[in-house]
Chain A
Amino acid sequence: MGMEQVGHNFMTGQLEDVVQWARRRSMWPAAFGLACCAIEMMAAGGAHYDLGRYGMEVFRASPRQADLMIVAGRVSQKMAPVLRQVYDQMVEPKWVISMGVCASSGGMFNNYAIVQGVDQIVPVDVYIPGCPPGPETLMHGILNLHEMVRTGEIMKRRSANNGGAGIEIANVLPADSAPTPVTVSIADHSSSTLAV
């Protein structure tokens, strides 16, 4: 945003509040339903739970229009490059919620076909447990994320938490490592380039 050099003062402090308020109150999720968690995600958008109360009722089909990716369901090895591409197509600022145990850690599918934790592919901000998490659990995670947006830094978000996942991607996959099943060039998305 061209404001990296500006120090903190009264004006930028107030501006930061406004930006955080705007980001928090209209966070549009990208529809990335992969499994049964997506049914609960749809239920959260329905009348009984109504994500529209938080300005989130529009699940965008296009990642270009979305701020938040809710990874709802188990991510297979074949789906992983697609997920990373959808994440890369989203514009900053962007957040990721890993919904359900399958997306968070593979869950009960501890086998060769399922990615053991979606934070190996994209930086995750909030993990939601449950199999599947109910709409109220999803809303708890969303409110948790809203609180993180409200209190966090708007400029140095990615570099502060090391890309979101708390994992040094460069350490996990060294540049000269053997070919991995996931054919996404993770080296291009080190923490320095992900910084806003």
Chain B
Amino acid sequence: MARFSGFGVTFKQMFKPRITGFYPKEKREKPERFHGRHVLNRYEDGMEKCIGCELCAGVCPAKCIYVRGADNSPDSPVSPGERFGFVYEINYLRCIHCDMCVEACPTEAITETKLFEFSFANRADAIYTKEELLVDDEGRAKRQPWELWLGGEDDKTSAWMRATSSSGDADYEGRVNWSGELGFGVREPEQGQSL
């Protein structure tokens, strides 16, 4: 009889709920503060937040960010400051999604989304330029053809807390010097960041 006990295990499993997700149609819920691909944010008036200071490129441990700044022209400035980043490239075949660029950024120009599903058939696609990283006119990440965004997923962007916020305390939720979300200005945090 013992030789059939193994079949009993299989038989019992048939009546248990199925845990397999069906990936291309549905994704698993990503955790808060998930580190996915980056976006470059803009202010509500359409100005870019990036000032081309290259701090993100300096702090990057994988050296995957390439930034070059240029002076704003007084007539049609791209960013509110003196300078703006006119070249901004991230090589996603180097990026390890450590989020140190997000912590280093003084203007919260670069943040990370929760998108993590992308793959490339050639190396050139892996280098995201500024046009691909910059959010569109509604403050949402631009979808590249090889990325899999499901409906409403760009709402659920990575909630992050600046390491340099007031006393590093997550209870300062919603204050001016704490920002919860990317996009136009400051979006509402996804849910209670107060731990």
Task: Give every chain B residue within 8 A of A101 (Cβ-Cβ).
Answer: 62, 92-96
User: Min CB distance, A106 to chain B, in Å?
Assistant: 8
* A136-B23 contact, Cβ under 8 Å, with A101-B62, A105-B93: yes
Tell whether, in the assembled complex, residue B97 and residue A131 are in contact, meaning their CB atoms are under 8 Å apart. yes
Segment with Cβ contacts to B, from A18-26, A77-85, A121-129: A121-129
- Residue ID in chain B nearest A131 by CB atoms: B96
- Pairs A–B under 8 Å by Cβ, sample size 21: A49-B21, A53-B22, A101-B62, A104-B93, A107-B62, A127-B120, A127-B121, A129-B95, A129-B118, A131-B96, A131-B98, A134-B116, A136-B23, A136-B27, A137-B118, A137-B119, A139-B24, A141-B119, A144-B119, A144-B121, A148-B121
Known pairs A139-B117, A141-B119 / 10 extra A-B pairs, C-beta < 8 Å? A105-B93, A105-B94, A105-B123, A107-B93, A108-B61, A129-B93, A139-B24, A144-B119, A144-B121, A148-B121
Q: Return the 5 tightest CB-CB contacts between A and B, nearest first.
A: A131-B96, A141-B119, A108-B62, A129-B92, A105-B93
- Residue ID in chain B nearest A106 by CB atoms: B94
Chain B CB within 8 A of A110 CB: yes
Tell whether, in the assembled complex, residue A129 and residue B120 are in contact, meaning their CB atoms are under 8 Å apart. yes
Counting residue pairs across A and B whose Cβ atoms lie within 8 Å, the total is 91
Chain B CB within 8 A of A143 CB: yes
Query: Restricting to B47-102, which residues have a CB under 8 Å from any CB of A?
Result: 61-63, 91-98
A132, B144: Cα distance in complex, Å: 21
| B residues apposed to A, CB below 8 Å | 19-24, 27-28, 61-63, 91-98, 116-123, 126, 146, 148
* A108-B96 contact, Cβ under 8 Å, with A127-B126, A136-B117: yes
Partner of A47, one of B20, B22, B24, B94: B20
User: Min CB distance, A141 to chain B, in Å?
Assistant: 4
A132, B10: Cα distance in complex, Å: 33
- Residue ID in chain B nearest A54 by CB atoms: B23
A6, B97: Cα distance in complex, Å: 49
User: Min CB distance, A172 to chain B, in Å?
Assistant: 14
User: Min CB distance, A135 to chain B, in Å?
Assistant: 8
Chain B CB within 8 A of A130 CB: yes
A104, B92: Cα distance in complex, Å: 10
Partner of B93, one of A47, A125, A127, A140: A127
Partner of A108, one of B19, B94, B120: B94
Tell whether, in the assembled complex, residue A49 and residue B119 are in contact, meaning their CB atoms are under 8 Å apart. no
Chain B CB within 8 A of A50 CB: yes
Task: Give every chain B residue within 8 A of A148 (Cβ-Cβ).
Answer: 121
Task: Give every chain A residue within 8 A of B28 (Cβ-Cβ).
Answer: 48, 136
- Residue ID in chain A nearest B61 by CB atoms: A108
Tell whether, in the assembled complex, residue B121 and residue A125 are in contact, meaning their CB atoms are under 8 Å apart. yes
Task: Give every chain A residue within 8 A of B97 (Cβ-Cβ).
Answer: 130-131
Task: Give every chain B residue within 8 A of A166 (Cβ-Cβ).
Answer: 122-123
Task: Give every chain B residue within 8 A of A47 (Cβ-Cβ).
Answer: 19-20
Tell whether, in the assembled complex, residue A53 and residue B20 are in contact, meaning their CB atoms are under 8 Å apart. yes
A108, B98: Cα distance in complex, Å: 11
Task: Give every chain B residue within 8 A of A50 (Cβ-Cβ).
Answer: 20
Task: Give every chain B residue within 8 A of A139 (Cβ-Cβ).
Answer: 23-24, 117
Tell whether, in the assembled complex, residue B123 and residue A127 are in contact, meaning their CB atoms are under 8 Å apart. yes
User: Min CB distance, B187 to chain A, in Å?
Assistant: 24
A47, B22: Cα distance in complex, Å: 11
- Residue ID in chain A nearest B63 by CB atoms: A110
Task: Give every chain A residue within 8 A of B98 (Cβ-Cβ).
Answer: 131
A127, B91: Cα distance in complex, Å: 12
A103, B184: Cα distance in complex, Å: 36
User: Min CB distance, B143 to chain A, in Å?
Assistant: 14
